[in-house]
Amino acid sequence: MLKKIVPNRRIILDGFNNSCTAPDPGLPPDFLKASGMIYNIQTSVKSGTFFNRQKTSLIAEGPHAKSQSRNFLWLPWVEGAVTYSPISTIDILTGPMSGCWVSVFESHGKRYVAHIGTSLCAELSEQAKASWRAAVNSNTITPLHAFDPFVPIESEFEAFYSIITPHRQIYSVALAYASALDCRERMITRIIPSDNQLMDVTGF
């Protein structure tokens, strides 16, 4: 997926399955497992004039018929909960990010990506943080990397998402509203790599 995230291209983020299920055996009972559904970035469609050409891509369910580099897993944000997805052979997209932390962790020999679902509601934020701290402090999980994909805003119209690759490379993706008529349509403005450092995963 990361190869298809190109600045100044447009993307319509819509139609994701945000449902989650009970966690795998051995993981904390208050963690939520993402659906694991595969999505793909469709081939871009050109529009506009010769002097103002735009490329826009849609998101579709299922793997791409020809290119695995277009495929990704979706990890939803759920207020007050820790959602997670196993690391596989394709990228993971999660968001939106507004101060939430994302972590790569290990449990029983398997590696996962977690989205710690903080929100504007202080009670729900503390609920998500407490779930994460309890899992770390009880040694139920072992955090390998933790990071905050949110970076300084250059425009009030920006939103942030994060991409985690199978090799645990981490990127923040900044998206701005591209259309006054369709709030789903976003312009990719910035792609910021993380330094991939372990942060204080229980002190936030």
pLDDT: which is higher, 196 or 129: 129
pLDDT averaged over every residue in the chain:
83
- Of residues 156 and 72, more confidently modeled: 72
Task: For residue 42, give the DSSP letter.
Answer: P
Alpha helices in the chain (DSSP H): 122-137
Residues 6+ apart with CB under 8 A from 82: 28, 30, 31, 32, 114, 115, 116, 117, 128, 131, 132, 135
Angstrom CA distances, 127 to 10, 35, 86, stand at 35, 22, 22
Phi-psi region of 126 (alpha: psi -120 to 50; beta: other; left: phi over 0): alpha
Rounded average pLDDT over 159-168:
88
Give the percent of the chain with pLDDT over 90: 36
Query: What's the mean pLDDT in 114-140?
Result: 91
Is the model more confident about 111 or about 56? 111
pLDDT of the residue at 49? 58
pLDDT (0 to 100) of residue 51: 60
- Give the residue-averaged pLDDT of 177-190: 70
Which residues partner with 167 through β-bridges? none
Confidence at residue 123, expressed as pLDDT on a 0 to 100 scale: 93
What pLDDT, in 10s, does the model give residues 46-97? 665 556 667 788 888 899 988 888 999 999 999 999 999 999 899 999 988 8
Stated pTM of the model: 0.86
Give residue 180's pLDDT. 60
Q: In what order do the strands lie in the sheet with 110-116?
A: 20-21, 31-34, 82-86, 110-116, 101-107, 142-147
Total Cβ atoms within 10 A of residue 3:
10
